[in-house]
Amino acid sequence: MNEAEPQAAVPKPELRWYQFSLRSLLLFTLAVAVVLSLICYLQRKSREDKCREHMMVVYNALLAYYQSCGRFPGRPYSTDQNGRPMHSWRAHLMPFWPDHDYHITRQYKFNEPWDSPTNERFWTTYGDYSCPGYVESSNITNYVAVVGGSLWSKKGGLPPASGRSLLIVELVESDIVWAKPVDMTLAELASWLRDDPSGAEFRRRVRHILAVDATGAPSILDPARDIDEIRAIIEAEQRSAGERDKQERTGKGAR
C-alpha cells in the first residue's frame, strides 16, 4: 500500500491594500455610530433627569402653597371682579418658589391683567416654569394644570383615599406664556388617549405627568413606560368628576 503523498499547503489569499482599508473604514464607522448613539442617549437621559428634578421643584412650590393656604389652588387662575381670568396659578406660585426674591417678584402687578405692559416687561425677563434645555424662551412654560380632577377643583382638595389625582402635565411642545391663565382639561387629556389607543400620540405630546395621592405624596409618571397607569388614573379621575358633578346637581335640586 502506497503512502499518501503529502498535500501542498494552500496559500492564504493575500489581502489587497484597498480591502484592508475598507474593513478598517467599516469598523471605524461602526465604532463612531456606537459612540454617537451613546452620547445622544446620555444627553437625552441628562435632560430627562433635569426635567424630573424641575417638576419636583414645581411640586414643592405647590406643596408650600398647600401648607400655607390649607389647600391646593382651587382653580388654575385668579379672576377680576367680573370673573375674567387674570393670572395663572404659576404667577401665584412666585412667593413659594425656591430662592424667592421679594424685591424682584413684587414688580409683578396682580391688580393688572397678566398681559399689561408692566407685567409683560416682567415675564419677558423672569420665569423658571419650563424644563431646562427644552424651550428657547424663559417666558414659555410647558407645565400645565389638569383642570377637572380632584386637585384643580373648586375646593382644591386632595384625591380620595383610594386613588391618585393628576396635578400637572409637562408638555413636549408649548407656546403658553407662564403668566397666561391657560391650561388643559382632564377631558382634553383623556381625548388624546381615546383618539389614539396605542398611546403613541400621547407619548409624542407629553413628557412627564405629576400625580399625587391622598396624602399629597408625589409620583412622576413617564408615558414611555407608564401609559397604562396613566390611563387608569385618568379614567378614575373622570368617574370621580362625574360623581362629584352629580352630587352638586342633586344638591342644587334639593335646595
Q: What pLDDT is recorded for position 201? A: 87
Q: What pLDDT is recorded for position 197? A: 80
Q: What pLDDT is recorded for position 53? A: 86
1 in any annotated domain: no
The DSSP 8-state label assigned to residue 78 in this structure reads E
Residue among 133, 126, 137, 139 at smallest CA distance from 99: 126
Cell of 74: 382651587
Q: How far is CA 211 from CA 107, 151, 163, 186, in A?
A: 32, 10, 10, 13
18 in any annotated domain: no
Q: What pLDDT is recorded for position 134? A: 61
Q: What pLDDT is recorded for position 89? A: 92
88 in any annotated domain: yes
104 in any annotated domain: yes
Sequence-ordered list of residues with C-beta below 8 angstroms from that of 179, at least 6 positions apart, any chain: 87, 88, 90, 91, 108, 114, 115, 119, 123, 139
Q: What pLDDT is recorded for position 70? A: 79
Q: Which residues of the chain fall short of a pLDDT of 70?
A: 1-23, 25, 28, 31-48, 127, 132-137, 154, 156, 245, 248, 251-255
87 in any annotated domain: yes
Q: What pLDDT is recorded for position 211? A: 92
Do 76 and 152 touch, CB atoms closer than 8 A?
A: yes
What's the number of domains the chain is made of? 1
pTM over cut 0.85: no
13 in any annotated domain: no
Do 182 and 176 touch, CB atoms closer than 8 A?
A: yes
Q: Over the stretch 102-127, which tens digit does the pLDDT of each residue have? A: 788 888 999 999 999 999 988 887 76
Q: How far is CA 210 from CA 170, 171, 205, in A?
A: 8, 12, 15
Helix (H, G, I), strand (E, B) or coil at 209: strand
Which range marks the domain in which residue 66 is found?
27-254
186 in any annotated domain: yes
5 in any annotated domain: no
Half-sphere exposure of 209 (CA within 13 A, CB side): 26
